[in-house]
Homo-oligomer: A and B are copies of this chain.
Amino acid sequence: MSEPPAAGPPVFARLTLIGIGLIGSSVARAARETGAAAEIIACDGSAAVCARVAELGIADVVEPDVRLAVAGADCVMLCVPVGAMAEIAATIAPCLAPGAVLTDVGSTKISVMRDVGPLVPAGVHFVPGHPLAGTEFSGPDSGFASLFEGRWTLVVPPAGTDRDAVDRVSALWQRFGAMVEVMEPAHHDRVLAIVSHLPHLLAFTICGTADDLADETRQEVLRFAASGFRDFTRIAASDPTMWRDIFLNNREALLEMLARFTEDAQAMARAIRWGDAAYIEDKVMRGRKIRRSLIDLKQA
Inter-chain CA distance A195–B221, complex, in Å, is 6
Interface string of A215-251 (1 = CB under 8 A from B): 0010011111111111111111110110110011001
Interface of A is mostly: helix
Interface string of A191-210 (1 = CB under 8 A from B): 11011111111111111111
Q: Which residues from B are CB-within-8-Å of A259? A: 269
Contact B191–A221 (Cβ < 8 Å): yes
Number of copies: 2
Q: Which residues from B are CB-within-8-Å of A181? A: 223-224
Contact B264–A222 (Cβ < 8 Å): no
Contact A284–B227 (Cβ < 8 Å): no
Is A114 on the interface with B (CB-CB < 8 A)? no
Q: Which residues from B are CB-within-8-Å of A297? A: 222-223
Contact B231–A231 (Cβ < 8 Å): yes
Contact A300–B233 (Cβ < 8 Å): yes
Is A163 on the interface with B (CB-CB < 8 A)? no
Contact A277–B248 (Cβ < 8 Å): yes
Inter-chain CA distance A258–B272, complex, in Å, is 11
Is A90 on the interface with B (CB-CB < 8 A)? no
Q: How many residues of A contact B (CB 8 A)?
A: 93
Is A190 on the interface with B (CB-CB < 8 A)? yes
Is A281 on the interface with B (CB-CB < 8 A)? yes
Can you list the 9 inter-chain pairs with the closest CB atoms, starting with the nearest?
A: A236-B287, A199-B228, A207-B287, A237-B291, A196-B226, A240-B284, A233-B291, A195-B229, A204-B287
Q: A195-B221, A260-B209 are in contact. Are A291 and B255 (CB under 8 A)?
A: no
Is A275 on the interface with B (CB-CB < 8 A)? yes
Inter-chain CA distance A132–B209, complex, in Å, is 21
Is A6 on the interface with B (CB-CB < 8 A)? no
Contact A290–B199 (Cβ < 8 Å): no
16 further A-B contacts with Cβ under 8 Å, apart from A195-B228, A199-B229, A205-B261, are A133-B227, A203-B287, A204-B283, A204-B286, A207-B287, A207-B289, A207-B290, A221-B290, A222-B293, A223-B299, A231-B231, A234-B300, A236-B290, A240-B288, A244-B281, A247-B280
Contact A286–B211 (Cβ < 8 Å): yes
Is A182 on the interface with B (CB-CB < 8 A)? no
Interface string of A54-67 (1 = CB under 8 A from B): 00000000000000
Shortest distance between the CB of A162 and any CB in chain B (Å) = 25
Is A212 on the interface with B (CB-CB < 8 A)? yes
Inter-chain CA distance A188–B201, complex, in Å, is 27
Which A112-134 residues have C-beta < 8 A from chain B? 132-134
Most buried by B among A220, A228, A230, A257: A228
